[in-house]
Amino acid sequence: VFSALDATTAAHVEPAFARAGRLVLSNAKSFRLEPDVPLVIPEVNASHLHALALQRRSRGWPGGIVTNANCAATGAAVALAPLHAAFGIEQVFVTTLQAVSGAGYPGVPSLDILGNVVPFIAEEEAKIECELPKLLGAWTGSAFAPAGFGVSAQANRVPVEHGHLTCVAIKLATRASPDDAIRVLEEWSGPPEVRELPSAPDRPLAITRREDRPQPRRDAGAGDGMTVTVGRIRQDPLLDLRLVALAHNVVRGAAGGSILNAELLAHRGELPCAS
């Protein structure tokens, strides 16, 4: 069951499906931070799906709930995952420029957003700050161990149709130059089992070296909306590195992410209909 419900409705509808033996692939925030609910981007943390066994045991559900991440956190997580694995991340500052389609339908009133920027999206900063450490953390076999870095996020709504841009400044545990970071990001493609899935893009992460990219209009559709495009990777004068990451918020950041999670579960024989 794919759930793209608002959070208030999801909070009671999704457990009802799980109790009835269905596996729910959810876009909603309601269960993302629960200690037994996987928050998954397949290329980043496929191992977190093992938490489903604990969830079923502890809640007595024959089905279960698997969530995908907040749309702005998704692009940042894909860009940060290879850097965290290679160098360790100690601090992250994220500033977002988020498309209007992220607000759902009918979305932001046109008189608020046309020719304007709104420097507030309800609950968005807390979601980014809480979800990134869970996404880049580990599943120990009995619990999630969040990544040990702090996140400071500022979220802005901008008059763009699709594509959330995240400007990220990073403090690393091991110093690395922009060229070191580019090499690590270019070599990263996630686990082989995910690359074979039908909705997986050729590259989950693409690097652009053009100084004026990524741009939502030109790059949000990369990999049919499933590729995160990263550019402007450079030295940060205060921390270590900074970069710009772009993700299609309603494809990789929502429905496409849910479908990829379902494909991974089907590949592992974890969907009730596949057993």
Ligand X SMILES: NC(=O)c1ccc[n+]([C@@H]2O[C@H](COP(=O)([O-])OP(=O)(O)OC[C@H]3O[C@@H](n4cnc5c(N)ncnc54)[C@H](OP(=O)(O)O)[C@@H]3O)[C@@H](O)[C@H]2O)c1
Residues that bind ligand X (CB under 6 A): 4-7, 9, 27-29, 71, 101-102, 104-105, 249-250, 253-254
Q: Which is nearer to ligand X, 242 or 252 (CB)?
A: 252
Question: Residue 243 corresponds to which tokens in the numbers above?
Answer: 């970069």
Q: How far is the CB of 219 from ligand X (least distance, A)?
A: 17
Q: How far is the CB of 170 from ligand X (least distance, A)?
A: 23
- Tokens 């580019």, located at residue: 182
- How far apart are the C-alpha atoms of 17 and 20, rounded to whole Å? 5
Which residue has the closest beta carbon to ligand X? 104
Q: How far is the CB of 98 from ligand X (least distance, A)?
A: 8
Set 48, 71, 130, 162: catalytic member: 71
Could you confirm whether 167 is annotated as catalytic? Answer: no
Q: Which is nearer to ligand X, 89 or 257 (CB)?
A: 257
Long-range contact set of residues 229-235: C-beta below 8 Å, sequence gap at least 24: 229/205, 230/79, 230/185, 230/205, 230/206, 231/207, 233/178, 233/181, 233/182, 233/185, 233/207, 234/178, 235/177, 235/178
Q: Which amino acid is at 76?
A: A
Q: Which is nearer to ligand X, 169 or 226 (CB)?
A: 226
Q: Which is nearer to ligand X, 73 or 170 (CB)?
A: 73
Q: How far is the CB of 176 from ligand X (least distance, A)?
A: 31
Q: How far is the CB of 160 from ligand X (least distance, A)?
A: 12
Q: Which is nearer to ligand X, 131 or 240 (CB)?
A: 131
Set 48, 84, 164, 248: catalytic member: 164
Q: How far is the CB of 68 from ligand X (least distance, A)?
A: 7
Question: Closest by alpha carbon to 233, among 183, 174, 158?
Answer: 183
Q: Which is nearer to ligand X, 105 or 198 (CB)?
A: 105
Q: Do 166 and 106 meet the contact criterion of CB atoms below 8 Å apart?
A: no
Active-site amino acid positions: 71, 164
